[in-house]
């Protein structure tokens, strides 16, 4: 059985991403967003998709670090590319306009189910990436079907 530390290790991984042709040449380093990151972004941005994208980039971009203002001034195509990579690495495959829905009741409920099922604290679960949470919710559901 995995420990909470094993699960949280995935949220600390970074990934080098080559930028697409047509823009700046090179790579950036990004990390997956945690549940806590996504909740803060959804709360801060509310219905402002551009602000949400800027906050996502600012939170996930490790190298080079950018302020929210700088992230908001990126060319639209580059910003969309980065948000798509961040979503992919974070396990978020829903449309951007559903970001708020993602972190509301279903995800909060999943955090408490996982805390109860595996004995993790809600803080430990909220530090996991969305992809990790979805995987463990699926595992918990399958074990309930078998048992």
> What's the confidence (pLDDT) of residue 64?
94
Structure confidence at residue 101 (pLDDT): 52
Domain span holding position 30: 13-97
Q: What is the pTM of this model?
A: 0.62
- The pLDDT tens digits along the chain (147 residues) read 767 776 666 666 788 999 887 778 899 999 988 888 888 888 888 777 788 889 999 999 999 999 989 998 888 888 888 988 998 888 776 554 454 554 455 566 666 667 777 777 767 777 777 777 777 777 776 766 665
The 3-state DSSP class for residue 62 equals strand
- Residues 68-75: contacts with CB under 8 Å, at least 24 apart: 75/23
Verify that 68 and 108 share a domain, yes or no: no
| Residue 6: inside a domain | no
In a domain, 18, yes or no: yes
Determine the Cα–Cα distance for residues 133 and 5; give it in Å rounded to an integer: 14
Kindly state the tokens that stand for 143: 């074990």
The reply to whether 58 falls in a domain is yes
129 and 80 share one domain: no
User: Is 3 domain-assigned?
Assistant: no
Residues 79, 109, single domain; the answer is no
82 falls within a domain: yes
Residues 25 and 72 in one domain: yes
What is the rounded CA–CA span in Å between residue 111 and residue 25? 39
CA distance 113 to 37: 20
Instruction: Name the domain count of the chain.
Output: 2
Q: Supply the angle between the helices 105-118 and 35-45 in degrees, to the nearest 10.
A: 160
Q: Is 118 helix (H, G, I), strand (E, B) or coil?
A: helix
How far apart are the C-alpha atoms of 8 and 114, rounded to whole Å?
A: 13
pLDDT at 143: 65
């Amino acid at each position: 059985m995995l420990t909470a530390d094993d699960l949280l290790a995935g949220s600390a991984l970074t990934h080098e991403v080559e930028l697409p042709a047509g823009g700046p040449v090179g790579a950036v380093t990004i990390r997956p967003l945690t549940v806590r990151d996504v909740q803060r972004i959804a709360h801060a941005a509310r219905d402002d998709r551009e602000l949400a994208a800027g906050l996502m980039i600012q939170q996930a971009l490790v190298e080079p670090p950018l302020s929210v203002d700088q992230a908001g001034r990126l060319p639209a195509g580059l910003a969309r590319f980065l948000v798509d990579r961040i979503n992919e690495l974070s396990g978020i495959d829903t449309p951007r306009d559903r970001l708020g829905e993602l972190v509301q009741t279903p995800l909060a409920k999943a955090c408490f189910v996982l805390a109860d099922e595996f004995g993790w604290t809600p803080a430990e679960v909220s530090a996991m990436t969305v992809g990790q949470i979805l995987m463990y919710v699926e595992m918990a559901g399958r074990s309930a079907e078998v048992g």
